[in-house]
């Protein structure tokens, strides 16, 4: 029992304790509260896996509630994208989707109750006046001259704010807490403001909108949430969360904070991701280089890999930075299990097998995935002329180069051993073809040639090769902390080589790939048939290389 307890993370410990003491009558009910002002990113994925995962673990429920209290930035298309991403990650929310805006009437009523209890007031101060009288963490603030307004006047003004009688910025409602409190969030925080914006759901019904802290805790309370899990920066908001709920003597969920996911080489602020989209640095929110869930999906990441990563990194109470290679590791692990191995030559060099009969084609049987024999095998055409990778040949190779060079041999994967006898150069000195001979009795599976070949090369038969577009994606930023520089914008750290588009030579079966199908291009990496372009022409996105080439480069 104690040993088992030790391996629980701190949130699980709280859950188990609450279940034991019956704090929430044995219920676990979490929520995931995205603001529909952008697409979800890998940080949100972490929060989704945590909130939905922990509820599953304790037979609980998770609400999907959109925090739509800021009408100017929120859009229906973001709501749709967020729903799609959560479902794709493999989670189901409780009942219907919910919106903070569902509670606008109730929240308005709560504000009235606070005013009636003398716990909130209408303040005519300007934003500048409010900011300049807030004080500092070490010096108390100054009470607003409107703080002592009587209840009747407050109610009247609040109603007229709602009716749209006043201009934006001319009045706010503030909770009456404590202008000298060391916690700045308790210095009479604003709970309602005037905003004459069109809301994506309530239209023009409202001229006032609740502030995040006000709407969030009350929404949790209304929904009967037990554990309101959020990121560390909200720890200092917790006293306000608690104060607001207690001020009206409402059902009281427990707010719990954990360290947000930070990844090196990655930015996660939605505002900055939007900038990348708007300035055309990427093709959209789902560009395969984006750290968004939709971008990762299009790149070929799987929900299993993302969930494995999210659970693997655990939950921490202190800020930390996770190495992106950990995410890539989870992706490789899963793709290694599920993908067929196929042959695609990215940088082709022609090979003529001079002793192979002209015009003949042989069908070779090749196993789809050695990790999963049940995935079967397929037929692959072999002929006298094939492509291999240009860098699998060296004119003057060092001793340890186990691929082709003059007089050297290699095995063609699933086919024969060949020896390179000669090469052809054009006028500019570029190698244009190799002349090789093959050993007919060296066929894979029935090799009795007695010849040893250390290198195994992938290849594609030239008369059967299909042209496919391949997008070699790499990290979007070439700096570990692109938004961690005081004097420089993250835009200055864009990796100029984050996308390299080429035409590759693929084995014929690649034309059957359906959007989203995933492959291991032998010796080259994992690739995914592009979701958007597959209908017009075959495009394969590089999901991840076979090995972590960045880690190696850094060690040098």
Residues recognised as catalytic: 35, 260, 270
Minimum distance of ligand ATP from residue 242's CB (angstroms): 18
Least spacing, CB of residue 259 vs ligand ATP, in Å: 8
Q: Which residues pair with 363 in a beta bridge?
A: 381
Q: Which of 274/546 has CB closer to ligand ATP?
A: 274
Shortest spacing between CB 231 and ligand ATP, in angstroms: 4
Place of tokens 């002793």: 355
Q: Say if CB 127 and CB 144 are below 8 A apart.
A: no
Beta-bridge mates of residue 456: 411
User: CA angle 261-262-264, nearest 5°?
Assistant: 145
Annotate 64-80 with b (16+ C-beta within 10 A) or e (fewer). Answer: bbbbbbbbebbeeebbe
CB 532 → ligand ATP: shortest distance, Å? Answer: 24
* Closer to ligand ATP by Cβ: residue 66 or 439: 66
DSSP secondary structure string for all residues of 30-93? EEE---SSS--BHHHHHHHHHHHHHHHHTT-EEEEEE----GGG--HHHHHHHHHHHHHHT---
Label residue 56 left, alpha or beta by phi (over 0 means left) and psi (-120 to 50 means alpha). Answer: alpha
DSSP bridge pairs for 255: 228
Q: Which residues bind ligand ATP (CB under 6 A)?
A: 33-35, 43-44, 46-47, 67, 230-231, 260-261, 268-270
Asked whether the beta carbons of 282 and 476 are under 8 A apart, the reply is yes
Distance from C-alpha of 165 to C-alpha of 433, rounded to nearest angstrom: 81
**What separation in angstroms does the CA of 223 have from each of 95, 102, 260, 275?**
12, 11, 24, 34
Distance between CA atoms of 545 and 219, rounded to whole angstroms? Answer: 44
Distance of closest approach, residue 221 Cβ to ligand ATP, in angstroms: 16
Half-sphere exposure of 139 (CA within 13 A, CB side): 6
Nearer to ligand ATP, 266 or 498 (CB): 266
Q: What is the DSSP string of 181-202?
A: -SSGGGSS-EEEEE----BTTT
Select the residue whose beta carbon is closest to ligand ATP and give its number: 43
CA 217 to chain centre: 27
Q: How far is Cα 497 from Cα 364, in angstroms, rounded to an integer?
A: 37
How far is 526 from 337, CA to CA, in rounded Å? 11
**Which residue, 230 or 290, is less far from ligand ATP as judged by CB?**
230
Q: Which residue has the tokens 């002002």?
A: 37
* CB 480, min distance to ligand ATP, A: 16
Least CB distance to ligand ATP at residue 280 (A) = 21
Nearer to ligand ATP, 47 or 101 (CB): 47
Query: Which of residues 293 and 351 has its CB atom nearest to ligand ATP in the complex?
Result: 293
Would you say 70 or 498 has its CB closer to ligand ATP?
Answer: 70
Residue 550 CB, nearest approach to ligand ATP (Å): 21
Rounded CA separation 392/252 (Å): 66
Give the residue with the Cβ less far from ligand ATP, 175 or 268. 268
Write out the DSSP string of 265-296. Answer: T----HHHHHHHHHTTSSSSTT-TTSSBHHHH
Q: With respect to ligand ATP, which residue has the nearer C-beta, 36 or 414?
A: 36
- Count Cβ atoms within 10 A of the Cβ of residue 33 and give its class: 0-12 exposed, 13-18 middle, 19 or more buried: buried
Contact yes or no for 168/194 (Cβ under 8 A): yes
Q: Least distance from C-beta 41 to ligand ATP, angstroms?
A: 6
């Amino acid at each position: 029992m104690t040993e088992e307890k030790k391996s629980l993370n701190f949130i699980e410990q709280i859950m188990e304790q609450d279940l034991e003491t019956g704090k929430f009558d044995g219920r676990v009910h979490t929520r995931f509260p995205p603001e529909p002002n952008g697409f979800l990113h890998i940080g949100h994925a972490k929060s989704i896996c945590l909130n939905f995962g922990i509820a599953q673990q304790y037979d609980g429920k998770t609400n999907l509630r959109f925090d739509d209290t800021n009408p100017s930035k929120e859009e229906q298309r973001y709501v749709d994208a967020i729903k799609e991403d959560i479902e794709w990650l493999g989670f189901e929310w409780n009942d219907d989707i919910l919106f903070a805006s569902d509670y606008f009437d109730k929240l308005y009523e709560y504000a009235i109750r606070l005013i009636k209890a003398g716990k909130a007031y209408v303040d005519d101060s300007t934003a500048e006046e409010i900011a300049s009288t807030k004080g500092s963490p070490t010096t108390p603030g100054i009470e607003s001259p409107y703080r002592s307004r009587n209840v009747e006047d407050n109610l009247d003004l609040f109603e007229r704010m709602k009716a749209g009688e006043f201009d934006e910025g001319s009045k706010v409602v503030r909770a009456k807490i404590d202008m000298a409190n060391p916690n700045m969030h308790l210095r009479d925080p604003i709970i309602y403001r005037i905003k004459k914006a069109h809301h994506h759901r309530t239209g023009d019904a409202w001229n006032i909108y609740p502030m995040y802290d006000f709407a969030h805790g009350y929404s949790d309370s209304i929904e009967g949430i037990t554990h309101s899990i959020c990121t560390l920066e909200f720890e200092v908001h917790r006293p306000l969360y608690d104060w607001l709920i207690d001020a009206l003597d409402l059902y009281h969920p427990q707010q719990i904070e954990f360290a947000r996911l930070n990844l090196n080489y990655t930015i996660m602020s939605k505002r900055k991701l939007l900038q990348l989209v708007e300035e055309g640095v990427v093709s959209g929110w789902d560009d395969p280089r984006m750290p968004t869930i939709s971008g990762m999906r299009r790149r070929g990441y799987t929900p299993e890999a993302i969930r494995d990563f999210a659970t693997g990194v655990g939950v921490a109470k202190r800020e930390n930075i996770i190495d992106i290679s950990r995410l890539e590791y989870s992706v490789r692990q899963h793709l290694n299990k599920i993908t067929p191995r196929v042959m695609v030559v990215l940088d082709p060099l022609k090979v003529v097998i001079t002793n192979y009969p002209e015009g003949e084609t042989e069908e070779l049987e090749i196993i789809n995935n050695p990790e999963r024999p049940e995935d079967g095998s397929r037929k692959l055409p072999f002929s006298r002329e094939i492509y291999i990778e240009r860098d699998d040949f060296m004119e003057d190779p060092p001793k340890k180069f186990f691929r082709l060079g003059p007089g050297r041999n290699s095995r063609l994967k699933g086919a024969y051993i060949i020896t390179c006898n000669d090469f052809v150069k054009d006028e500019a000195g570029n190698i244009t073809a190799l002349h090789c001979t093959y050993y007919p009795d060296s066929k894979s599976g029935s090799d009795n040639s007695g010849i040893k070949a250390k290198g195994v090369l992938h290849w594609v038969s030239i008369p059967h090769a299909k042209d496919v577009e391949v997008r070699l994606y790499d990290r979007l930023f070439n700096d570990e902390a692109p938004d961690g520089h005081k004097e420089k914008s993250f835009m200055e750290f864009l990796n100029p080589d984050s996308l390299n588009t080429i035409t590759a030579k693929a084995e014929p079966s690649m034309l059957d790939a359906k959007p989203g199908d995933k492959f291991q291009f032998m010796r080259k990496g994992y690739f995914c048939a592009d979701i958007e372009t597959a209908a017009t022409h075959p495009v394969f996105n590089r999901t991840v290389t076979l090995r972590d080439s960045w880690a190696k480069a850094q060690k040098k």
